[in-house]
Each structure stands twice: as structure tokens, then as C-alpha cells.
Structure 1
């Protein structure tokens, strides 16, 4: 009995250590001002270095200096990995522009293809479904049970959240056909909670009503920093049996960096008004055994 328990503990610990962590973080207007704030940058680096891949949202860096600073500091902080990035075009229907940014460990993952959704599905751009078109990448992950899957990163406009979430279903259909895959993860600040959604409206959103889509960040979870709010704005949604079976159970959570780093609300809000959300993928034990022998 004791040996069985020890084995279970060992397997659980090994899975936790060797799993691959995917995160999504709305940093809230990340630009040169935050990049030049030493204390804020230290916290951001600690948060992002926990993840093998992060989708960063609300990047407002017209000169590219804030992105360069983030990568430079990240690689200095964590020398056990090599971090690289992919950035989208600057997007927005007005003078307000944002970028998406994927930061990932290139010694752990391979990005096989990337697309900005506006190139894939012109009708969506013409009808202005999205304020910021999704940024999509196709991943090869040799260290996990699931080897190939797609990430669709999205930051919705709050006032059009449900319309844009329904637009993501059209994106999914395009990607499924183009790359011939069912294994898709949606992630980002979807504003999918509180005053930006209604029960009636969500019933018309395929990602919500179709049982093939699994919402890993649940409604009762809080992805906001402010004490006065309790909303699951940031989400991770899974499609595909293979990808779903490759998720570490109960690993999808917001990361409360305020509590983790002992920050006051005021201090935490200088970093962001959102918590990152994260999920772990199960490791490929054969891969890790082969590389550890």
C-alpha cells in the first residue's frame, strides 16, 4: 500500500515538473512606461518565466522597445531556457492600436506556422467582426502527449464580446479546414463575464452552446486584480478529444500574482488589472525518460 502511494506521489510530481504550461496574460497597456519601471518589470518577468508559452495582450509598443526589453530581461533572468517571440501587426479600428505577442521557449516548442486572421478570412475583416483580429499559431510540442495543436489568441472588444466570440467560431472552421486539425485552444481576454455577457446572448455563441468546446476557466473563477470585481474575463477554451485528453486535470487556473508575491492591490495594479490564466499539458513520459537516461 505504501509503495503504491509513493509511486502515485512520484508520478504526480513528475507530471507537474515535466508538464508544459501555456498562459495568457492581458498586461494592460504594456509599453515603454511599464518596461522602464524596474519593479513592475521584475514581477512581469517572474510571471512570464513560469510559462513555456505565453500569449501577451494589450501590447502598446509603437517603437518596439518594450518588447525587446521584455525578451532581454526574460533571457537574463532564466538562463535555463531560450525565449523567443512572435508579434502580430498593430491593430485597431481607431488611433488606439494593440499587438498580440507570443513568448515561448524555443528549446521546448516549435511554431510551425503563424497567421493573422484577417488574411485567412476576409469576410470577417470586411464586416468588422473583430476590433483586433485573432493571432493564430500552429504548435509542435515534442515533450507532451499531444504533439500538434493550434492556439487562437484573442482580446475581444468589451462592448462586442459576444459578437466577437461568435466570430471565433468562424475562425475555428477556417483553421480546421486549412490545417486539418480538431485540436484547437482559444485563449485570451474574451471579456466573457459580468456585464459584457448575457445568458440569452451566450446561447447564440457556438463556442458556448456547442458541447464540443470545453471552457476550462469557469464562470466562478476570478481573473481580475481589483477586490471589488469578481469576473472570469480571461478564458481558455479547448476543442478536440486528443487535446482535451492531453490536459492535466484541474490545472487551468488564474495565477494570483498579488497573493503569490505579497503585493497590495495598488502595487498589483501597476502590473495589470488582470491575472494571467494558465493550463498544463501532460508530458510525454517516453520523451522525458529518453532524455534523462
Structure 2
């Protein structure tokens, strides 16, 4: 049985007087620091204008996703997942690296972050401050520290408050009394903001932010964390449907396996890893990160998804890229409006608590 426990910490967005000084400056600083310059042919505006995405394969057909520009479409939202490797005091105190991270973040309306390592959530607050210093209006929420060892981690959500709102009191970390997962997932419900004049409702959805232990996903069996995450997903789905009639759920994060090894999680009826088989590590060799969507119930998904390869975009070496992360951000696009589901959720509980 999974149940809610400690609430997450929320940080309010604010606009400092330095709003016009930000990621554009620090990207140049990072590249200069690492031995790059204008004369070397680096396009410093790459992350702010034309982030190149990869193609994905859905339902046996190849779908090439368009280039993601810095402008956000009025009728779409972009949801991303990013494992910012060991995102702690050292990394968040480096203005050059933080500039790159902030520039990446501003291309998305909502980002699920894994591997935050600071019990006071300062790295996430600094990232939000960096974004807002350039004119953004972002907020964040951070989970409690999670893990069996002294190397605990936190999850976070960061979002654009002009386009997304978090449903009050909707965030929680699932309880795992049998200790089946090293880091229990974090869930929260959000809704896109639409004009009242549209006469339509904003897309409301629940995100499940997950980071598996790489040592506990190697072999199929009851102890494999992928065979626990299906219980988590189904329990949250049943609980949120009973509580608020929610039918749209997205599980995203660093699962440390490719989509052929999602095991029981990948066997849930209708669920798809929409980014596909595109490598998600900076070395370009492994698929670790996923955005899982039930396309039968979440018709808001547009079929557009991809990976942001900031290594190629900024012409970085492996060593330079690792200053940012060993993972690439992945993303998927959804309609900003609530859409009718193609099919009803298969299991609808009679109780208010998630059951296994």
C-alpha cells in the first residue's frame, strides 16, 4: 500500500531588479571558461533560439519532432524531465553552469528534476532565481530528502507560473512501508492556465517524478523497482481518480533502463514511453530517461516529444558537458486545453486511498 507522507517545500517566484541579466551572459561565460569563443564557431544563441530535438518512434512509425524554439505556443505546453546530476551546493554555486541550466529550463513550461542533493533545497531556489533574473516568472516545489543511505536525494518541480498552476495541497511523496524502493516517487497535480474568454478548461494532470536505483533494475523479478513502479502508478491513478476525478497521469524521470526493460511498468495497458529509443545520456550511448503517457486517456498529448542535446547544441566535449549533467533533458508536448479521453480509466476505486 502506498500513501501520502511529508509535504514538499514550495518556493515562490519573484522578479529581481537584475531581470535583464541572466542565462545569455553566463552561457558565454561557461564557453569562454572552457576554452571556446566566438572565433571557434560556437553559436551562443543556440539554446535560446533553436534547440534541436530528436525523432521518436510511436506505434511503429517514425515521428520527427520539430525544432523547439524559445517562443512558447499559446495552445501547447511543454513538460520536461531532467536529471541534473548531483545538483547540490557546488554545482548551484557555479554561475556559468547555472546559466546553461536556466537557459534550458526556460524552454519548458514545467520541468521534473531528479537528483537534487541539498536538504535545504537551495540549488532549486538558486535556479528559479536565475531564471527569474532574466524576466521569467517561475516557481518550484521540492520533496523531502529521500534514500536509504547518507547520499539522499530530492525531487523537484519547476514551472512557469504564467502558464501553469499547481493545484493547492496536491504534492506528496508516496509512502513505501515495505521499503521496496530506494527513493519513493513524488507526485503533484498541475493545470495549464487558459483565458476565461476561451470558454474551455485548462489541461489538468498529475505528474509522478521517479528516479530508480540503477542496481535495483538490472534483473526482472519482484524486487526490480520497475516492478514496483507499476504499483505506484496504478495506486496513484486510483487515488487521484477517487479524490478528484483525475484521469491524466504522466510518469517521468530517470528510470535507468531502456524502454525494452520497463518490465511490469511498461506492461500497463495503454502506457507508452513517448520519447522512444533516443539516447538520453550526454555520451549518446544509453536510454535512461522516460516520459510515460497513457495515450488512450491522455489525448492532450500531441505526439510530439524529444531530447534536447545541449552537448551538440553548444559543441561541448564530454568533460565540459559533465559540468552540467550526465543526462540530457527530455520533453513532451501537450494541448493547453482539457480534451475528452478516448477511453475511461480501466480501474476506478471505491475508496479514497490508493490500494495495491
Q: 1:171 to 1:34 in 2, by over 3 A?
A: same
Note the residue ranges of structure 1 that are not aligned, 5 or more in a row: 1-12, 119-124, 286-293
Residue 274 of structure 2 contacts residue 293 of structure 2 at CA under 8 Å; is this kept in 1? yes
Larger RCO, structure (CA 8 Å, separation 6 or more): 2
Question: Deviation digits for residues 47-79 of structure 1, max 9, x if unmatched?
Answer: 1111111111110113433222111111112x1
Structure holding more helix per residue: 1
Show the counterpart of 2:17. none
CA distance in structure 1 between the aligned counterparts of 2:191 and 2:336, rounded to whole angstroms:
13
Show the counterpart of 1:4. none
CA distance in structure 2 between the aligned counterparts of 1:145 and 1:215, rounded to whole angstroms:
26
Q: 1:255 to 1:105 in 2, by over 3 A?
A: same
2:150 is aligned, of 80, 91, 95, to 95
Residue 272 of structure 2 contacts residue 295 of structure 2 at CA under 8 Å; is this kept in 1? no
TM-score normalised over the length of structure 1? 0.79
| 1:59-74 equivalent positions in 2, closer than 5 A | 59-74=116-131
The offset of 1:145, in angstroms, is 7.7
Q: Pairwise CA RMSD of aligned residues?
A: 2.3
Question: Deviation digits for residues 220-274 of structure 1, max 9, x if unmatched?
Answer: 31001125xx11100000025241x21122x211110111222222211110000
CA distance in structure 2 between the aligned counterparts of 1:209 and 1:146, rounded to whole angstroms:
30
CA distance in structure 1 between the aligned counterparts of 2:155 and 2:293, rounded to whole angstroms:
20
TM-score normalised over the length of structure 2? 0.66
CA distance in structure 2 between the aligned counterparts of 1:150 and 1:185, rounded to whole angstroms:
6
Show the counterpart of 1:208. 266
| 1:1-293 equivalent positions in 2, closer than 5 A | 17-18=73-74, 19-77=76-134, 79=135, 81-112=136-167, 113-118=170-175, 125-143=176-194, 147-161=203-217, 163-180=224-241, 181-193=246-258, 202=262, 205-218=263-276, 220-227=277-284, 230-239=285-294, 241-243=296-298, 245-249=299-303, 251-284=304-337
CA distance in structure 2 between the aligned counterparts of 1:151 and 1:68, rounded to whole angstroms:
20
Note the residue ranges of structure 2 that are not aligned, 5 or more in a row: 1-68, 195-199, 339-356
